Amino acid sequence: MQLKLNQIIGMIALKLIKRSKNCIALIDTSEIEFYGRRDADVYYSPTRNRYVLRYMVLSTITHNRVIPISIRPTKMGMFPENIVETLVEDAYMLGFNIRFMMLDRGFHTNAVVKKLVGLNIPFIIGAKKTRRIKRILDGLEPGFHVIPFNVDGVDVSLVARWVDGEWYTYLCWMLNPHVAYFYYKRWGIESCIRMFKLFLAKTCARSHMLRYLFLLISALIYVTYLLLLASGVVGSYMDFIGFLVQIFAETFLPVTKAKIA
């Protein structure tokens, strides 16, 4: 059921991009707090200082919004390149053609670079400031630079931008390095995840599958909101909430009135 629901989310996303199957894809991971019995699906999050369930999210950008396409749970021992491969397969299964992919610094690994090159997917990856990259940056003047860079035998471009007294670095492959300016749009994925978590049901259940189901339902409500917004059925988030309240009232209030009568 969860897999079918995940496919429905992807099909709605396809409608939102008006059936243009060429998409700009983003991959990120999301964490949700978990207080139940810990097993192989539960991670310790140093940033949250607690245990979490972790999900991998494939999204696309359209209408200046980030729209989820596929949400999958991760398991202990799942490496970043496994996440990339799984979500790319989901995109292809739905008929999406990935024009290029953006990933954050958590995916800056040799294995991810080689995986994307093997899949022939152009990419921008936020580059960690490793000792090697720091040595390159130390010899640069503030500005915009494109430096040939080799990652485990793969030739890519290291793009370095000096912004407000700080270097921002990216790895690019098969793209005009100036496309790295577009990378800032990936931060919209954080807003996307926060938005669909607004609808996330609260539960004390320890079932991982139930929690995953609630997360998918939350994402489904969110993409439905975006579809209604794009169609002009609602004009704002508050209009959508009113729309949901109206549906709820029309569904349940007549029953209540009949009982009262």
* 125-155 tens-digit pLDDT: 999 999 999 999 998 999 999 999 999 999 9
Q: What is the per-residue pLDDT for 161? A: 92
Q: How many CA atoms lie within 13 A of 47 on its CB side?
A: 5
Q: Does residue 249 belong to any structural domain of this protein?
A: no
Total-model pTM = 0.85
Q: Give SS3 for 179.
A: helix
Q: Does residue 241 belong to any structural domain of this protein?
A: no
Q: Does residue 257 belong to any structural domain of this protein?
A: no
User: What CATH number has the domain bearing residue 47?
Assistant: 3.90.350.10
Q: What is the per-residue pLDDT for 257? A: 46
Q: What is the per-residue pLDDT for 22? A: 74
Considering 99-108, 179-188, 247-256, the range whose residues carry the highest mean pLDDT is 99-108
Check pLDDT > 90 for residue 248: no
Question: Residues 21, 26, 29, CA angle at the centre, nearest 5°?
Answer: 135
Among 151, 149, 155, 152, CA closest to 136: 149
Which residues, in sequence order, are CB contacts of 98 under 8 Å at separation 6+? 23, 24, 25, 88, 91, 121
Q: How many whole angstroms separate alpha carbon 33 and alpha carbon 165?
A: 35
- In percent, the amount of the chain with pLDDT more than 90 equals 42
Q: Does residue 248 belong to any structural domain of this protein?
A: no
Total tally of structural domains belonging to the chain: 1
Q: Does residue 163 belong to any structural domain of this protein?
A: yes
DSSP lists the bridge partners of residue 168 as 161
Check pLDDT > 50 for residue 260: no
Among 58, 52, 48, 51, CA closest to 28: 58
- Tell me what the mean pLDDT of segment 142-171 comes to: 94
- Tell me what the mean pLDDT of segment 232-259 comes to: 76
Q: What is the per-residue pLDDT for 114? A: 96
- Residues present in the chain in total: 261
Q: Does residue 124 belong to any structural domain of this protein?
A: yes
Average pLDDT, the chain: 86
The band of 261, judged by pLDDT with boundaries at 50, 70 and 90, is very low
Domain membership of residue 27 as a residue range:
2-234
Q: Does residue 113 belong to any structural domain of this protein?
A: yes
Q: How many whole angstroms separate alpha carbon 169 and alpha carbon 171?
A: 7
Q: Give SS3 for 74.
A: coil
Q: Does residue 252 belong to any structural domain of this protein?
A: no
